[in-house]
Amino acid sequence: MSRMFRLQMSSFGFPLVFLLLVLTPVSSLAEKQWLHGAIRINSNISAGNRSMAQIADEATAAELDFIVFTDQLVARAEYGLWPLRHVVRYAREQPSIVTFGIERYLEQVRETAARNPDLVIIAGADVAPIYTWSGMPFTENFTVHQWSEQMTVFGPDAAPFYRNLPALGNETHGFFMPGTLLKLLPLLLLMPGIDMYRRSCNSYADAQGNRIRICDWPRMLAGIVMVVGSVLGTFQLRPFTQSVGFDQYGNYGTKPYTQVIDYAHSNDALCFWSGPEQRMEQVKSGVHFLTVPQLDDIRFTFRHNGLAGIYPDNSTAYRPGKLWDYMLLEYADGRRKVRPVTIGEVDYHGLWRVDGIQTIVHAEPNHDAVLQAIADGRSYAANITVLDRLRLTQFEVSDADGTTAGLGETLTTTARAVTVRIAGTRSPDKMEFAAVFKLVVDGQAVASLRAPAEEAFEIVHDVELTRDASMHYVRLYMGDPAVTLISNPVFIQRPTNADTP
C-alpha cells in the first residue's frame, strides 16, 4: 500500500505542484515590503565620476533595493548675436545623455540592470528645459539665469521618449519637420540674386577691338545682398529643426516647464521638481551662472508628481502651511488633479554616499511596482543620519470601526475623530537619538510625538478633523529647521453629508 502511494505521488506530484503554483495569486508570491532606494543619480555619462556598474555595486553594498539613474539630458549653453542668433553664435557643452547618445545610455542602464537582478534599476534624466541670458557679452553683468532649474523625469526606457523631451539643446532634426517649406522661402531669393549678379557686368569691344568690362555696381551689390541674405536667412530659420517653442532670449514664464510636465504626464512618466530651493551662483569663463529658488514655478505648474522634500540643500517647503501643504490642500479640494508627492533626492555625483538620502517605498520589488508606489505616495524619505537610528514600519490612520489606511492611501469614514499609529524600530546602540515626529493635519502642526526608547516602538495619537472639507490628510516629518525625515500623507475622505443629522 505504501509503495502504491509513492507511485501515485511520483505520477501526480509534479503536475499537482505546478497546478497549485498556477492557481496561486501572483501577489502572494511577491508581497509588498519596505524597499529602500536612491533617486537622482548621475553617472560618468554626465556630471558624475563613477560608472553605472560601480554605482550599482555601491548600491548593493549599501543594501539598497532600487536606484534611479537621472543623468543630465543636455548641458549646452549657447549665445547668438542678434539678428542672426543661429548663425553668429558661441556655445559650450558639457557631457550629457545627448552627447553620449540616448540609445547608448538606455542600453547601458539595461545592461547594468541585467548584471544586478536583485537591484531594481530605473532609467531617467535630469531635464533643465530652459535658461535665459541677461547683460552683454564681455561685460561683468553677462549672466545665465536658472541653468540648474530642473526636473527629474524617470520611468520610460524608450529612446523616442527622451529624444522628444522639450528642452533647449534637445531639438528634433529631420528633413520633414513641420513648417520646413515656409522656412525655406528665403531660398527663393538665391537664383534671382545669382542671376542679378551675373548680369550686373557686361563686356563690349571698342573701336580698336579692346574688350571693355562695364559693371552696374548697385545692381551687383543688390545681387550679392540677395544671395547672402538668402543663405543666412535660411540658416537663421533652421528649416530642418523642430523648435521647442521657446528660446534662451525671451521671458516665457513657466511655459517651458509646463511643456516638460505635460509631455511626461502624457507618456506615463514621473516628473518631480528637483532641488526646489537650491541656489547656485558661480563664474565660468567670464560668464555668471545664477539659479535661485523656484518655489513659485512649482506652485503655479500642475500635473507634475511633486517635489524633492529632502535633498543636500536646506528646504522649507515641507514646513506646515508652506508650499507642499498649499499643493496638498489644492489636491484635497480638487483644484490639483495629480497628487503632489515628496521624494528624497540624493543628487549623487560620486562624492557622497549613494544611500545618503533615501526614498523608502512600500511595494513589490519590481520596476513597475516601485514606480507606482512612488506616484501614489506610498513612501517616506529620510537621510542616512536618521535611517542609521530609526526605521518606520507603519504610519496609518484608522476610525472607530477599525477601518485603516496607510501611506498614500485614502480612509473613507464618516468620523471626525481618527487615530494615528506610528510604528518602527530603533537601533539599540543609538537610543540617545531624540526621535520626535511632528504631526501635520490639513497643513497645520497639531502635535509633537516622541518615539519611546524601545527597539520596536509604537505611538498612538487621536486627531480631530476640524477643517470644513470632505477631504483631509495627515502627514509627519522629523527635524527642524533642517528636515531629516518626511512622510507622504494618509488621506481621509468624509462624505459631504457626514455631519448632517
Report how far residue 311's alpha carbon sits from residue 278's, in angstroms, rounded to the nearest whole number. 9
Q: Using the predicted structure, report yes or no on whether residue 429 has a pLDDT greater than 70.
A: yes
- 256 within some domain: yes
Q: Is residue 63 part of a domain?
A: yes
The answer on 347 and 236 residing in a single domain is no
Q: Do 255 and 279 reside in the same domain of the chain?
A: yes
Residue 260 has pLDDT above 80, yes or no: yes
Among 34-38, 168-172, 359-363, the least confident range: 168-172
Pick the last residue of a domain from 371, 387, 403.
387
Lowest mean pLDDT among 8-12, 66-70, 442-446, 474-478: 8-12
Any idea what the CATH number is for the domain that residue 354 is in? 3.20.20.140
Average pLDDT over residues 287-316: 93
33 in any annotated domain: yes
Whether 315 and 200 share a structural domain:
no
Please tell me whether residues 360 and 400 are part of one structural domain.
no
- 259 and 139 in one domain? yes
The CA–CA distances, whole Å, from 267 to 97, 120, 171, 243, 399 equal: 19, 21, 18, 20, 38
User: How many domains does one find in the chain?
Assistant: 3
Residue 282 lies in a domain: yes
What's the confidence (pLDDT) of residue 315?
A: 87
57-71, 161-175, 199-213, 245-259: lowest mean pLDDT where?
Answer: 199-213
pLDDT for residue 195: 82
Percent of the chain surpassing pLDDT 90:
67
> In this structure, are 478 and 497 located in the same domain?
yes
At 74 the pLDDT is: 96
Single-letter code of the amino acid located at 501: P
Are residues 230 and 194 located together in one domain of the fold? Answer: yes
In the predicted model, is pLDDT for residue 496 greater than 50? yes
Q: Is residue 95 domain-resident?
A: yes
- What integer is the mean pLDDT of 243-270? 95
Question: Higher confidence at residue 402 or residue 223?
Answer: 402
Mean pLDDT on 153-168? 97
| Residue range 121-138: mean pLDDT, rounded | 94
Q: Tell me what pLDDT residue 2 has.
A: 38
Among 209, 225, 242, the domain boundary falls at 242
Cell of residue 365, nine digits:
520589488
Q: How far apart are CA 248 and CA 143, in angstroms?
A: 12
Q: DSSP class of residue 348? A: B
Helix ranges, 200-274 (H): 217-237, 255-266
Report pLDDT for 377. 98
Q: Which amino acid is present at 492?
A: I
Question: Quick check: is 24 in a domain?
Answer: no
Residue closest to 453 by CA, chosen among 426, 484, 422: 426
Q: What is the DSSP letter of 282?
A: E
What confidence tier does 240 reach under pLDDT thresholds 50, 70, 90? low
Percent of the chain with pLDDT over 70: 91
Same domain, 262 and 372: yes
Q: Which residue has the higher pLDDT, 424 or 196?
A: 424
Assess whether pLDDT exceeds 60 at residue 275: yes
450 domain-assigned: yes
Which pLDDT score, from 0 to 100, does residue 173 have? 64
For range 149-176, the mean pLDDT: 90
pLDDT at 30 over 90: no
Question: Quick one: pLDDT at residue 175?
Answer: 65
pLDDT band at 219 (very low <50, low <70, confident <90, very high): confident
- Give the rounded distance of the alpha carbon of 329 from its chain centre: 22
Residues 6+ apart with CB under 8 A from 115: 53, 56
Contact yes or no for 305/341 (Cβ under 8 A): yes
Considering the domain boundaries, does residue 5 fall inside one? no
For residue 181, pLDDT over 80 is answered with: no
Same domain, 163 and 187: no
pLDDT category at 418 given cuts 50, 70, 90 is: very high
Q: What is the CATH number of the domain that holds 429?
A: 2.60.40.10
Sequence-distant (6+) residues with CB within 8 A of 468 are none
Looking at the structure, tell me whether residues 327 and 259 fall in a common domain. yes
Which pLDDT band, with edges at 50, 70 and 90, does 183 fall under? confident
Q: Which of 320, 337, 319 is nearest to 483 (CA)?
A: 319
Domain that holds residue 202: 180-242
Of 385, 386, 382, 364, the closest CA to residue 373 belongs to 364
* In a shared domain, residues 287 and 153: yes
Decide which of 387, 420, 450 is a domain's last residue.
387
pLDDT digits (tens, 9 = 90+) for 318-369: 999 999 999 999 999 999 999 999 999 999 999 889 999 999 999 999 999 9
Over residues 436-460, mean pLDDT? 96
pLDDT at 224: 87
On whether both 378 and 431 belong to a single domain, the answer is no
Q: What mean pLDDT is predicted for residues 269-298?
A: 92
